Amino acid sequence: MDIDPAPTAAGIFIGHAFTPDFCSSGTDLDQDGLSDLCEERLSWAFAPELYYWGYDDIRREAYWAARPSGVDNVVIAYLPSYYRDHGSNTYVCSLPPPLHHPSCDGHNGDSEMMLLTVYYKYETEHWILGEAAYSAHGSYNMYSRGNKAYPSVLEYPGRKGGYPRAWVSMGKHANYATRAQCNGGGFVGTDDCTANNSAVRLEWSAYWNVGSSNHPIINCVVSRVPSYEYYGSGRQECFWTGSEFSGWIPDNVGGDRADPYGPQLRAAGF
């Protein structure tokens, strides 16, 4: 049985064997230089917590990817794959045209993403969060550790330097480090986390790894949730080849659609 050699240190212990050298060998379905076993252990351990308003629609079908980055670093992409963006209810969004901004409006599907870079510390045998990139309407909020062990601006529901919290803006699903940052985010402050009061870890399964652009494990899939109102509609979402992301909402249902995941993943090196 593996026992954490540094139980009070920053980061997460996932086992004595899981060093960068060990992670560079073994079965590697997406052929990116990081073994499947390490991809699974790390993506599970660092799956972020979503902190949201309890009455918000955050229904989703999450997927993920992981890849090595330089020496002793791993980048993990978390794809919540929300069904729908319901728009913002902030005051600015209630103004009539031409003051009303398109970013206020909702759309089918929501392709927000979180990128976490974790690094290995040999002295403690822990993997530690070194950098986070939280998407917010197509751009990214960046949080770096600088000269510290982990990004101190982020909140950590468990261990410091472990899986982080993402404050999710009401209706829009943009991601922030704190409530205050969220309330000032979006176009002229159209993001809002004032009423956020609920927390959930992003769902994870080893079967939800989309792989890499050169060797996809998952590309086009139908909804996997029988309780979803559009389950069985035949609508597919394609994580690597899709030209849009519609949250498995069929084409005959009105509404704009979100940008695809593929370009975002490629831009992040996957």
DSSP codes of every residue in 77-119:
EEE--EEEE----SGGGGSPTTT--GGGS-EEEE---EEEEEE
Number of domains in the chain: 1
- Structural domain boundaries, residue 209: 20-267
Is 218 contained in some domain? yes
Alpha carbon distance 36, 10 (integer Å) = 25
Check pLDDT > 90 for residue 102. Answer: no
Q: Please give the structure tokens belonging to residue 227.
A: 């309780």
Is 7 contained in some domain? no
Is 43 contained in some domain? yes
User: What band does 186 get if pLDDT is binned at 50, 70 and 90?
Assistant: confident
Is 149 contained in some domain? yes
Alpha carbon distance 31, 39 (integer Å) = 12
Is 3 contained in some domain? no
Alpha carbon distance 27, 214 (integer Å) = 16
Is 6 contained in some domain? no
Q: Do residues 41 and 206 make contact, with C-beta atoms less than 8 angstroms apart?
A: no
Check pLDDT > 70 for residue 193. Answer: yes
Q: Please give the structure tokens belonging to residue 36.
A: 């499947």
**pLDDT > 70: percent of the chain:** 95
Q: Please provide the average confidence, as pLDDT, over all residues in the chain.
A: 94
- Beta bridge pairs of residue 238: 220
Is 184 contained in some domain? yes
Digit-coded pLDDT (tens) for 217-265: 999 999 999 999 999 999 999 999 999 999 999 999 988 999 999 999 9
Is 226 contained in some domain? yes
User: What band does 87 get if pLDDT is binned at 50, 70 and 90?
Assistant: confident
Element (H, E) at 52: strand 49-52
User: What band does 17 get if pLDDT is binned at 50, 70 and 90?
Assistant: very high
So what's the pLDDT on residue 1? Answer: 73
